[in-house]
Structure 1
């Protein structure tokens, strides 16, 4: 596991107290910075350049009152999003990131539109190990049953978050998927079918089997139809939480991408057992996921670690972003052994390749 250092080694008591206040007022800062971005304040300051604008200048546009500008920009000032010189506000580096960096914007939208209201129930969710906060979005046992029914803007923000982390990885992993020349590949947790479409486009002879909840497979089926590859795919509606349901057997490769993190450790154990049983004699299981302990930079680990409370309050109540060792341990208990591990895929993915241990 990589050592992570998220704060200075020798933090003074004063510095520690300041950091503690940032935590206490974190939700306030989040909402004000988001407002400044969404309502155009940051863009207006960016357009003004280093000379900046006064509150009166900005109020003169008629887009915001002086009161709103003072409240929001002063909070942005405290967060390093803007700075002040000679009574004029200008965009600082953090503000430039909010305004231009895709992953920052996707994370803000995801946390606001999907997680923010539900996280108020995080304490209850942790105690019960159930997604109590999900009621803020809809009445489903877990978020996965309701993905296709999410209202806007939560639906767009969820899929933007999910696809950003996965889609950046798909182009580079096809050689890994087909390294053993598989003829039958199973995509477990197929979601919208994007991986399956990419695999079918990459290899003209492969037979794809998609496994997911019925509602998700209906979305995947549409994706496959649009891509013109539906005839080469077989759909297997399955609730993976039902340990009695076996997976289709004889697979050369079983693929799981950002899938196991949706489940608790006991559920992962049963899924891996069924995956091991579904492999052909020389078949392999490929697991691509975002492991916080395998990241090169602390910023990636920070984002991943702080995604886990979403799984608690909103998604399942008992899953998280795992360390890679958790998967290896559970796979070994299922009769699998780690063959290779490759890091640095896409934005922050690693690929674990397993084979039968016997």
Structure 2
């Protein structure tokens, strides 16, 4: 919360910022159009990263009107500046066009969140993902991930994996610092973490826990990787409070998983993990906490993504503040053994035990 303790704006700057907020959806769409139509790339490849609307229209196959009206909004958004009767690409414009993080975030917002966020007020009122209907007729998004169209899949998984993948080297070292013969990957999704574990340790056996739709994809990925003999699928809907988890595993692993549930559901899941554990079992929880970030833009992104959970994913979960999340572990009867923050792109790893 260190970024949000003071109101530093003057009345004038606050009113100016309010107008930018009012037109933010238009600025977003203009920025994405400038990227997708190749206008930013063409501008960046021009001599001195500068060109007229007419020159860019010829290079991009877009009308001069279209180029000009988008780039004029680009001026206001800070993507370009105007010098010597030409548009010139700014550092911000370069990041929008080339930066992998920005591309992953923008595609996720455009293809998964944009339409559904119009239902946010309704979602808040009824604690239901009212915006999910723009993607499909499911109770939660997780039931329909495998049924998204290809662009939506690419954007969702591109966003999810961009952040988790960069943490893998550190996480594998931490998890396998002790002998680990069996690992339970709760919320296995496509099986990416399971695959990493099997590649890292030739002896480990992994049990993947997820909904049947996700396990079908994960099983196929395990078969392609040649790990079928060391991986066991375990179908389980953890929203059903009586559904148990595989017993007696050395490690229980949950990566960006518990943020998909309400506080009450998190406690229920952790209680079932506790019931399944043997005395020496270890639990690892990988999460993103907005109040544990080094940069305000990271907190901003996480707080925004929380509203994706609200309006689209399931209606009742979020990226929790650490001071809200950590007490849930103890409420489930578990002890926090170790906390490690700022892994990869801002992840926190919580090790727990009995």
The two structures have a TM-score, normalised by structure 1, of 0.96
1:36-185 matched pairs, under 5 angstroms: 36-50=34-48, 52-61=50-59, 63-185=61-183
Q: What is the Cα deviation at residue 61 of structure 1? A: 4.1
Partner of 1:209: helix, strand, or coil?
strand
Change (3 A) 1:340 1:51: closer
CA contact (8 A) 2:292 2:322 kept: yes
Ranges of 4+ aligned residues in structure 1 off by more than 6 Å: none
CA distance in 2, matches of 1:277, 1:187: 16
Look up the match of 2:200. 202
Look up the match of 2:342. 344
CA distance in 2, matches of 1:145, 1:11: 44
CA distance in 2, matches of 1:156, 1:94: 24
Look up the match of 1:213. 211
Look up the match of 1:35. 33
Partner of 2:245: helix, strand, or coil?
coil
CA distance in 2, matches of 1:139, 1:62: 38
CA contact (8 A) 1:140 1:146 kept: yes
CA distance in 2, matches of 1:175, 1:277: 26
CA distance in 1, matches of 2:59, 2:332: 64
Q: What is the Cα deviation at residue 82 of structure 1? A: 0.4
CA distance in 1, matches of 2:219, 2:133: 28
Change (3 A) 1:301 1:62: closer
CA distance in 2, matches of 1:268, 1:229: 30
1:4 aligns with 2:3: yes
Q: What is the Cα deviation at residue 301 of structure 1? A: 1.1
CA distance in 2, matches of 1:255, 1:212: 12
- Deviation digits for residues 61-109 of structure 1 (CA, Å, limit 9, x no counterpart): 4712222122111111001100001210010111010111000011110
CA contact (8 A) 1:49 1:90 kept: no
CA contact (8 A) 1:247 1:275 kept: yes
Q: What is the Cα deviation at residue 325 of structure 1? A: 2.6
Change (3 A) 1:329 1:51: closer
- Deviation digits for residues 206-257 of structure 1 (CA, Å, limit 9, x no counterpart): 2211100011111111111111111111111000000001111112210000
Q: 1:248 is matched with which residue: 246, 249, 259?
A: 246
CA distance in 2, matches of 1:350, 1:86: 48
The two structures have a TM-score, normalised by structure 2, of 0.97
CA contact (8 A) 1:51 1:88 kept: no
Look up the match of 1:297. 295
Q: 1:327 is matched with which residue: 325, 328, 351?
A: 325
Partner of 1:340: helix, strand, or coil?
strand
Partner of 1:43: helix, strand, or coil?
helix
Gaps of 5+ in 2: none
